[in-house]
Amino acid sequence: MLRFDEATTKLLEVSYQGGDVSRRRRMAFDTLHLSEGDVIADIGCGNGLLTQEIARAIGASGRVIGIDPSADMRALAENRCAAFPCVQIKDGLADVLPLQDGEADKAVAVQVLEYLSDIPAAIREAHRILRAGGRFVAVDTGCNTLDWFSEDEDRMRRVQDAWDHHYVEPRVAALWLRFARDAGFVAVEVEPFTFCDVTLRADGLAFMLLHLMSRYAAENGHMSGHETKAWFDEQIDLARQGRFFFSLTYYRMSAIKA
């Protein structure tokens, strides 16, 4: 699991407001079909960017409950959403949500399920807190879809193998239909969307992952700091030479409580 220390938090603050991650967030936002007065559970709200965007859409008559187990992230979310009285930020886990049965009209979880050891329990919790007809939307990474060019294919493979340890379940989209239906959801849908970059932008998804993956591999003993720095430097050089290539697919999933 990633550690959201001060340095990581600052990196995420920049990247999460960039074009790539804003697009990822928008894929979830659009699928919620928000209305004024809605009650929304933002599961794994992180730094509160999506929470804030939902608050604007539902207005003062609605309510957004942002839930996150990280105190650092909750602090950022509380600060970001301070101008919205309709927002509550709560400590909680995806499989033990601090909401009553049927309390929410809609629920959303962006890049949450892939980190859970018990995904069915989290989906059942989302089902529990939703009213009949309520919608659950999730966005998760297609962890096996990463295609990242490097002239050192063996080192690139080892970087990816190291990164594989930071999530629990790489097949969320493939499992979504069965887990959602088993929990009692209907109208279950899965849709892919891909990021493909041939440039390296300071606010982009690839730049964020370049930092996170190199740090994770070294700090957790999967590779030496020398190796990860060599990979990092190679990617910077490839970008300067106009030879950079990065592609990663995410999946937007949705379902309705019967």
CATH number for the domain including 153? 3.40.50.150
Percent share of the chain, pLDDT over 90: 92
- What's residue 4's pLDDT? 56
Model confidence over 194-248: pLDDT tens digits?
Answer: 999 999 998 999 999 999 999 999 999 999 999 999 999 999 999 999 999 999 9
147: number of Cβ within 10 Å:
12
Q: Residues of the chain with pLDDT > 70: what percent?
A: 97
Euclidean distance between CA atoms 43 and 240, whole angstroms: 39
Q: Report if residue 42 sits inside a domain.
A: yes
* CA separation for the pair 14, 193 (Å, rounded): 22
Parallel, antiparallel or unpaired: strands 246-257 and 147-148: antiparallel
Positive or negative CA dihedral for 168, 135, 205, 77?
negative
Is residue 2 pLDDT above 60, yes or no?
no
Whole-angstrom CA distances from 120 to 92, 126, 130 are 17, 10, 16
CA-wise closest residue to 189 among 83, 43, 44, 31: 31
- Domain-embedded: residue 1: no
Q: Give the model's pLDDT for residue 10.
A: 74
Q: Does a structural domain hold residue 208?
A: yes
- By C-alpha distance, which of 114, 112, 116, 99 is closest to 44? 112
Residue 44 in this model has a pLDDT that exceeds 90? yes
Q: What is the pLDDT of residue 72?
A: 86
Q: What is the pLDDT of residue 12?
A: 74
Q: How much is the average pLDDT of 37-43?
A: 98
| Other Cβ atoms within 10 Å of 162 Cβ, number | 20
Q: What tokens appear for 69 in the block?
A: 């187990």
Alpha carbon distances (Å) from 170 to 29, 163, 200? 23, 11, 25
Q: Which residue has the higher pLDDT, 6 or 177?
A: 177
In a domain, 204, yes or no: yes
Each residue's pLDDT tens digit, 50-74 = 999 999 999 999 999 999 999 988 9
Q: Structural domain tally of the chain? A: 1
Q: What is the pLDDT of residues 238-255, one digit of tens each?
A: 999 999 999 999 999 999
Residues of the domain holding 93: 6-257
Tell me the backbone φ, ψ of residue 171, rounded to 5 degrees: -115, 35
Distance (Å, whole) CA 226 – CA 51: 39
Report pLDDT for 214: 95
Q: Are 81 and 58 in contact (CB under 8 A)?
A: no
Measure Cα distances from 91 to 2, 70, 144, 204 in Å: 18, 8, 31, 29
